[in-house]
Structures are given as C-alpha cells and as structure tokens.
Structure 1
Amino acid sequence: MGDWWYRNIVEPGKLPLLLALGSFVLTFVITRVITRLIRAGKGPFRNVSTGGVHVHHVVPGVLLTVAGGFGAVASGRSGVGPMVCAVIFGMGVGLVLDEFALILHLDDVYWTEEGRKSVEVVVVTAAMVVLLLGGFLPFGVNGVDDDETQGRGGVALTVAVNFFFALLALTKGKARTAIFGIVIPFVALVGAIRLARPGSPWAKRFYRSRPRARARARLRAFHHDRRWTGLSRRVQDAIGGRPDQEPARVPERR
C-alpha cells in the first residue's frame, strides 16, 4: 500500500489534487447539511445578512478560491504550502459550485428546480477530478522501464478516446451519460452510438431532414424519461435536498 501511494500519488505530484478533491467534496457535503438544517429551522445555524443583504456562501467561496489559487502559484511546488493552498482552494470551489445555479441565473434559485444544476455541476467536477487522479496524469514519474512507459501511453490513448465518446454523447443531449462515461468507457460508447435526444445540437444538425429519425428520437426520449426521471430526481434530492414546490398557476379569467 505504501509503495502504491508513493508511486501513484506522491511521486507524480498528485497529493495536492487529492487534498483539493477531498476538501471540495467535504465542504459541499457540510454546506448542504447546514443549508438543509437552516431550511428546516433546526440547529444553531442561520442565514448571514449584513445591511439587509443576504450574504450567500458563494461570497466566501470566491475569496477562498482566489486565496488558494494565488497562494498555490506563489508557494511553488515543494513544502506544505501547496497542500495547504490546495485544501483552501477545494473549500472555495465547494462553496462556489454549491451555488452554481445562483450564478447562472443571477437569482436565488437554490431551492428551486433550477437549483438542481448546482448538484449536477458538483458531480461533474468531482468525476473530472477523479479522472485526473486516475488517468489524465499518468506521466511525470521518473525511473520507469519501456514496458511501463508503453502501458501508460496506452492508458492515455484510452482516456482520450473515451473522452471523445463522452463529448459525442454530450452533443447528443445525454449529459448524465457523458458524465458517467468519463469514468466507465462502455457507458460513453453506448451514449455516442445511440439516437440523440430531441433538441440536442446533434439532432438539430443531423435530424433536420430525417423525419423518421426525429420521431424515433422523441419516442425513445419519452420512454427513457418515464423510466429514469423519477430515480434521477430522488438521487438529486438525497444529495442536495428536495426543491420547493412551485405554487400552481391559476388561469386568468377573461
């Protein structure tokens, strides 16, 4: 275990990245726990306001991200400085991305359906960092033989091909498939070869003059959504909390 840790984490210089990932995920989890307690009116936590303005936690998140990023640049590559800055940076990113939907919409949509985007972005970010730890940085280790070098080259090529398939799935409107396909190659391949979702960039470009393909895409999307949307929402609710129910709109009388 110690030899694996040194060769795969310490020697390639991935320890700061691992610390940033850990602090990022932990900060997001703690933040969601606190915000859900505030929402339920439990515990000692309260929203922070100053001068009648609600200070969202994206504000200290931005400050921590800036401090961690510039601190990492200034501290060099050796010593404990980069690791401390990595932890600070991960904490800042966790706070910022937890309110990604607020930044996107420029509105307080934290507990709305639009607020689900924050959870999705956090999952994407965590998956990408895990990929960086496991595959995108297989280089930079001294003292490897030719066989190991070729093996790492094969890993890098596999990752590049898999990333291409994931990107193709994304253009077909299959964001979740692309996300999980980054880690699981078979999922990316399936998403890349199957029909695109209606309204996706791929469908708009290649199904424009193919009415049968458009009809098949709509039918498949309908059956897929009916089967998986409920499960997906339950997972998102378990991670980030259930959004507020929007009041039903009363039709205007004419």
Structure 2
Amino acid sequence: MSEWFAVHIVATGRLPLFSFFVAFVAGFLMIRCSVRMIRARVRWWPGNLTPFGLHIHHVVFGVAFMLIGGVAGLLITDRNGAAMATAAALFGFGAALVLDEFALILHLRDVYWTEQGRTSVDAVFVAIALSGLLLTGLRPVGWGLWGITVDTTITQIGMVALILINFAGAAVSLLKGKIWSGIIGIFIPVISIITAIRLAVPGSPWARWRYPEGSAKLAAAIRRDQRLRRPFIRAKIWFQELIAGRHDLILEPSPAFHQQLPTVSERSTPPVRHVD
C-alpha cells in the first residue's frame, strides 16, 4: 500500500490534491454527523457554538480554514512536502464546511433541513466527483495540449476546434439540466456531445427557453424524465439522505426585507439549540 501511495500519489505530484480530497470527504462526514446528532437532540453531544445567544454557522469556520490553507499554500515552496499537504487538507476541510451550507449562501436563508437545503448536498457531491476524477489522473480535454508545438496549421485548428466543441457540449448539457453528464463530459468529450444533442430536462433553463408550453418537445421531455430520470433521482435522494439526513422541514413565512434572516421552525426552538 505504501509503495502504491509513493508511486501513484507522491511521485505524480498529487499529494496536495489527495490531502484536499481526504480532508474534504472527512470534513463533510464529520459535520453531517454533528448536525444530525444536534437535530436528534442527543444530550451528551456538545451542540452548536452560540456565544451570547448568537448562533455561529459552520460556514464561518469553513471560510477561516480555507483562508489559512489557501494563504499557506501560496507561501509554501515545496509543493510535495508535508507542509503543502497540511495546507491542502486545511483548505479541503474548510471547503467541506462551506459547501455544506451552500444553500444558506445561495438563498440567504436558513434552509438547511428543507427541500432547498438539498442544494448543499448536491454541491458537495459535485465537488467530490470533480476532485476524485482529477485525483485519478483525468484532466479536462485540452489540458495537456497547451504549450505543445505542432507542425501544421490544420492540426492546430483541429485541436482548438476539439476543445471548443467539447466545452460547448458540456455547457449545453449543463443548461439542459444534465449536471453529471456535463461534468463528466469535460473529461470525456463523447458524453458531453451526446447529452447536448438529446432532449433537455423539464424545468431546466434550456427547456424554459426552447420548449414552449404544450409543444411536442416538452411533452417528450416530460415522458422521458418520468420514465428514465426520475428513478435515478429517487435513488440519489435516498443515498444522500442516508448520509446527510432528511430534508423535510417547512420554511416559515419570509419576514420583511429589513428584518433578521428567517430560520427554519425546528431550528429556531429553543433559541440556544439551533441545528447547524
């Protein structure tokens, strides 16, 4: 095992990325374990940090860890040493805490255990997938082409065209609501091109722009979504809730703009036991 680690991680210069990945996954699992214990009101669990009644969300600590790790990474000259690995781990741990409250940042509301709070888990899963693909050695299409000298103009044009077509396909896939296909397509061109050609997901930006109400394309997209995509979505939600907990609370009515940001009812009672 140590030999494999030395050959495939250290020797390839992936030690900082490996440290980031491990710390990111560990940070997400740790904070989700903590918030689930708090939500279950386990008496012996320390709970939230609430000095003077102010609930400090863990995104604050995440930003601090990211700043420490990021600045340290800029200062460290040895890119494969233990110091760089530690800095990358601090950055990864902080990134996990920040993305775990991505929905709070996006909506500027405390939506942690609501349906909108699933956005945070989706963001974490996307980050894990991207960093995992990079850790395996995969790189976005065109990554290794920069700086390579080619002999003919036709070859240069072909390389640039391949990169542009691939990223255009990935962008269209994302606009069509096919997040995972778009992400994987950044690394594997064929996938992004195929998914860009196929029908969009109902409710996606592409469907809203291009599929008028009552059109044949919208009807076909809905049928395909119900037949093929929905079972995968249900399986994804089941797996996410197994790890992250159920997002089943209902938001309180929004107060006036100048008032304090609203909280989820279960998280606001009692005052000192907000669920992080």
TM above 0.5, yes or no, is: yes
1:136 is paired with a residue whose SS is coil
Q: Look up the match of 1:40.
A: 40
1:189-221, Cα deviation, whole Å (9 max, x unpaired): 553332112332333444459932222123322
Q: Are the equivalent residues in 2 in contact too, given 1:135–1:159 (CA < 8 A)?
A: no
- Aligned AA (2:197): I
Q: Are the equivalent residues in 2 in contact too, given 1:101–1:117 (CA < 8 A)?
A: yes
Q: Look up the match of 2:23.
A: 23
1:34-54, Cα deviation, whole Å (9 max, x unpaired): 110110012422111012210
Q: How does 1:44-83 map to 2 (within 5 A)?
A: 44-78=45-79, 79-83=81-85
In structure 2, how many angstroms separate the alpha carbons of the residues matched to 1:11 and 1:219? 50
Deviation at 1:243, TM superposition (A): 1.3
Q: Are the equivalent residues in 2 in contact too, given 1:27–1:91 (CA < 8 A)?
A: yes
Q: Are the equivalent residues in 2 in contact too, given 1:127–1:183 (CA < 8 A)?
A: no
Q: Look up the match of 2:128.
A: 126
Which runs of no fewer than 5 residues in structure 1 stay unpaired?
Answer: 141-156, 250-254
In structure 2, how many angstroms separate the alpha carbons of the residues matched to 1:112 and 1:245? 5
Q: How does 1:189-228 map to 2 (within 5 A)?
A: 190-207=194-211, 211-224=215-228, 226-228=230-232
- Aligned AA (1:59): V
Q: Does 1:116 align with 2:148?
A: no
- Aligned AA (1:131): L
Which of 169, 177, 194 pairs up with 2:173? 169
1:115 is paired with a residue whose SS is helix
Which runs of no fewer than 5 residues in structure 2 stay unpaired?
Answer: 145-160, 254-276
Backbone CA RMSD of aligned residues: 3.4
Change (3 A) 1:86 1:227: closer
In structure 2, how many angstroms separate the alpha carbons of the residues matched to 1:64 and 1:181? 31
In structure 2, how many angstroms separate the alpha carbons of the residues matched to 1:108 and 1:199? 24
1:244 is paired with a residue whose SS is coil
1:145-178, Cα deviation, whole Å (9 max, x unpaired): xxxxxxxxxxxx9999776644432121122443
In structure 2, how many angstroms separate the alpha carbons of the residues matched to 1:24 and 1:61? 11
Q: Does 1:242 align with 2:243?
A: no
Change (3 A) 1:160 1:118: farther
1:109 is paired with a residue whose SS is coil
Q: Look up the match of 2:235.
A: 231
Change (3 A) 1:131 1:229: closer
Q: Look up the match of 2:148.
A: none
Q: How does 1:79-98 map to 2 (within 5 A)?
A: 79-98=81-100
1:199 is paired with a residue whose SS is coil
**Greater shift in the superposed pair: 126-135 or 198-207:** 198-207
TM-score after normalising by structure 2: 0.72
TM-score after normalising by structure 1: 0.77
Question: How many residues align structurally?
Answer: 233
In structure 2, how many angstroms separate the alpha carbons of the residues matched to 1:44 and 1:168? 46
- Give the structure with the larger helix fraction: 1
- Aligned AA (2:107): H
Change (3 A) 1:196 1:139: closer
> Identity percentage over the alignment?
41
Q: Look up the match of 1:101.
A: 103
